[in-house]
Chain A
Amino acid sequence: MGRLRKLLIPGVDKKLLVRDAVKTMPELTRRRFITTGTSLGALTLLTGCDVVDSSSAEEMLKQVSKFNDAVQAWMFNPDALAPTFRESMITKPFPFNAYYDLDDAPEIAAADWKLEVRGLVENKKSWTLDELYKLPQVKQVTRHICVEGWSAIGSWTGTPLRDFLKLVGADTRAKYVWFQCADKDGYNSPLDMRSALHPQTQMTFKFADEILPRAYGFPMKIRVPTKLGFKNPKYVLSMEVTNDYKGGYWEDQGYNSFSGS
């Protein structure tokens, strides 16, 4: 959806288009934004005015969320490491989680896949999986925390993203690394540069010492243990180093964009 959203119909209000599209989706209630009057009846009664329903409340909440982005960026300590755990503490089975069923998860043929590298980088060459597998890898056992509240401990092995960014000559003064993925509707997510350069942020190729299975994002996911799960994109197709905020699948629907832990 992400790419379509931007390219499909020039001149059409992006927001309205998304809103209309959302209306046609299943799990309507999950995707709906704050303008769902019924559940807010109690508060409307309480305050005696229609603050909650109005777009001004929505606007206010968006502004506070932006403020929270700034506060979190300020709080973020690039040297603070996410706690690591013993292998015996790994959650089994590690949950599959997405906005679609496992049957609908992307099926990517390794031979056809290439990681596209775009934007503010010196070397824009695409990378095959074999080339990526040759890069030095490290393993981490960290806690994956979902925006929904549950968490699970997993084992991820791959190349530190900061090493790869250095290798391709990325301009690390840029604000974001923006990932595009193969999930249905086109998942995407921006990662702020300081989090991208965090020592534990990883281009992940293995889960529990095995080639990353389809359920967890084959051929490559980005593991960011200092972020909530939805900021850990799976089935990655491309990364773009950019100063522009390009939005993200969940970020555009209202999840806080920084969502750091």
Chain B
Amino acid sequence: MTSLAVSDHQAETATPAKAIQPVWVRMVHWINAFAMILMIMSGWQIYNASPLFGFTFSRSITLGGWLGGALLWHFAAMWLLMVNGLVYLALGFATGRFRKKLLPITPGGVIADTKAALTFKLSHDDLSKYNSVQKLLYAGIIVVGVVIVLSGLSMWKPVQLHWLVSLFGGYDFARYVHFTCMALIVAFLVIHVALALLVPKSLRAMIIGR
């Protein structure tokens, strides 16, 4: 709360410019980034114990050393991911951020902005407004985040939450859903980080707010 009060005070006296990313968004963003990386790296090690496909992840990019260690990491980081994610969803709805920032998403807008982005004509002058591609990706990754948590819960508690397992089409299928969501998140992460590096002021806004 102190930091909020300070930044409000500064905003009144010194710079009238409003933070592009409010402090709560920056906090949950970086906590989520940390938790996600722990979940992905430990998840890869868990996958290696019984691979779904014809490959395994190199041990140099996994966390935990062996299945037991990876499970300890996975089931510890899940609390951070889940609590932080719930805070994000609650504040996103309560403050109207989701509605204001992520809606509306129109097919026409997405196509136009994708074209503009690929020809490097997309404007980044106002970072407080997301373009249609950003809206689609950010809204989409929230949905993927919810699905990966639910499919993970169904695999963790297939008896207690057997209705959730059924929702995912059975235990075996839930594993594929969980893996697919991970793949989507990793793909998002690659694009997200690449674009943040291409437009460094957006990275700055996520760190110091402006």
Contacts and interface: CB of A to CB of B under 8 A. Distances in A.
Nearest to A27: B66
B60 A30 contact: no
Interface in A81-100: 81-83
A250 B69 CA distance: 12
A65 B68 CA distance: 11
B71 A255 contact: yes
Contacts of A81: 159
A225 B159 contact: yes
A70 B14 CA distance: 51
Contacts of B46: 149
Nearest to A33: B69
B173 to A, nearest CB: 11
A68 interface: yes
B32 to A, nearest CB: 15
A141 to B, nearest CB: 14
Interface string A26-40: 000111111110111
B59 interface: yes
Q: Is the interface of B mostly helix, strand, loop or mixed?
A: helix
B190 interface: no
Given A149-B46, A149-B175, A226-B159, A32 B66 contact: yes
A149 B73 contact: no
B65 interface: yes
A121 to B, nearest CB: 28
B76 A64 contact: yes
A253 interface: yes
Given A34-B69, A64-B72, A76 B160 contact: yes
A148 B63 CA distance: 15
B141 interface: no
Contacts of B68: 33, 250, 253-255
Nearest to A225: B159
B41 interface: yes
Interface in B127-146: none
Given A46-B37, A61-B72, A64-B76, A145 B158 contact: yes
A259 to B, nearest CB: 9
Interface in B62-94: 62-69, 71-73, 75-76, 79
B157 interface: yes
Contacts of B41: 42-43
Contacts of B71: 147, 254-256
Interface residues of A, number: 47
Given A38-B60, A260-B157, A64 B75 contact: yes
A68 B75 CA distance: 8
A34 B37 contact: no
A42 B159 contact: no
Contacts of A39: 45, 59-65
A153 to B, nearest CB: 10
Contacts of A61: 69, 72-73, 76
Contacts of A225: 159
Nearest to B51: A149
A254 B76 CA distance: 13
30 contacts: A29-B66, A30-B66, A33-B66, A33-B68, A34-B64, A34-B65, A36-B66, A39-B59, A39-B61, A42-B41, A43-B38, A43-B63, A52-B63, A61-B72, A64-B75, A64-B79, A68-B75, A75-B160, A77-B160, A80-B162, A82-B162, A143-B158, A146-B50, A147-B49, A148-B67, A149-B175, A250-B68, A256-B72, A261-B156, A261-B159
Interface of A: 29-36, 38-43, 46, 52, 60-62, 64-65, 68, 72, 75-77, 80-83, 143, 145-151, 225-226, 250, 253-256, 260-261
Given A32-B65, A64-B79, 9 more contacts: A32-B69, A33-B68, A38-B60, A42-B60, A43-B38, A80-B160, A148-B49, A254-B69, A261-B159
